[in-house]
Amino acid sequence: MDAPRPVALITGASRRIGAAIARRLHTAGYDLALHHRRDDDRMDALLAELESQRTGSTLELRAELADLDALPLMVADTVMRFSRIDVLVNNASAFFPTPVGHATAEQWDALFSANARAPFFLSQAAAPHLRAAGGCIVNLVDIYAQRPLRDHPIYCMAKAALVMLTRALAKDLGPQVRVNAIAPGVVLWPEAGIDDERQHKLLDSTALKRAGEPQDVADAALYLVRDARYTTGEILRVDGGRSLTI
């Protein structure tokens, strides 16, 4: 009998970087449990695309990550469908400005819920299965977790918490589970938009003088998942050298 394929659970997988990671891992032979919140059309299209390549290789998980009760159910549904979890990719995120003097408790809760609380509790729920598989966790952090972005203090704090979670889980879940993170730089512009002058300034301050692509992050994810067998607790910057200048 053929050996069972490894399984990856990816949050925020319907679009942008999450979808790129899903496609890259699927091409590499992983079956996928793909989470989204309400992006039904894009998720339907992604599932159809992947299923056309390998029938029975995907599972849709629709959930609100702020609902703590939903997180262990996502893990349980994945195990019920595929009988294992080898990889957890905490990709889902929230990003918006919170200038000092105008920030609210609701904004704090939203940013910390998406960027720190959900990754922790989802990792906790998946940990027994990851240990059994000798698997790994990949968290999507941000270069601004270490060097703050003006007018985004709560976002930066939440991503800094995710950096610390990466290192803490690497120690607590080792030696069975490796835990690493990717810190993208200018890969995709914010969905709310950004003016041309700001775009040019960001690219000019990047050593490679250009934006990256979601595929760059997806390739880094595959490296951490499949090839970096002696790497844990690390933050891999995929930023074109942006962190050298900020």
Active site residues: 155
Residues 89 and 140 sit within 8 Å (Cβ to Cβ): yes
Structure tokens at 156: 């930066």
Is residue 18 exposed (0-12), middle (13-18) or buried (19+ Cβ within 10 Å)?
buried
Largest CA distance in the chain: 62
Give, for 90, the enclosing helix (H) or strand (E): strand 87-90
Which of 93, 104, 226, 231 shows the shortest CA–CA distance to 174? Answer: 231
Which residues neighbour 132 within 8 Å (Cβ) at sequence distance 6 or greater?
Answer: 84
Rg (CA), the chain: 17
Rounded CA gap, 40 and 199, in Å? 30
Q: According to DSSP H, which parts of 56-152 are helical?
A: 70-82, 105-112, 118-133
Cβ count within 10 A of residue 123:
23
State phi, psi for 79 to the nearest 5 degrees.
-65, -40
Token pair in block for residue 172: 């607590």
Q: How far apart are CA 154 and CA 96, in angstroms?
A: 9
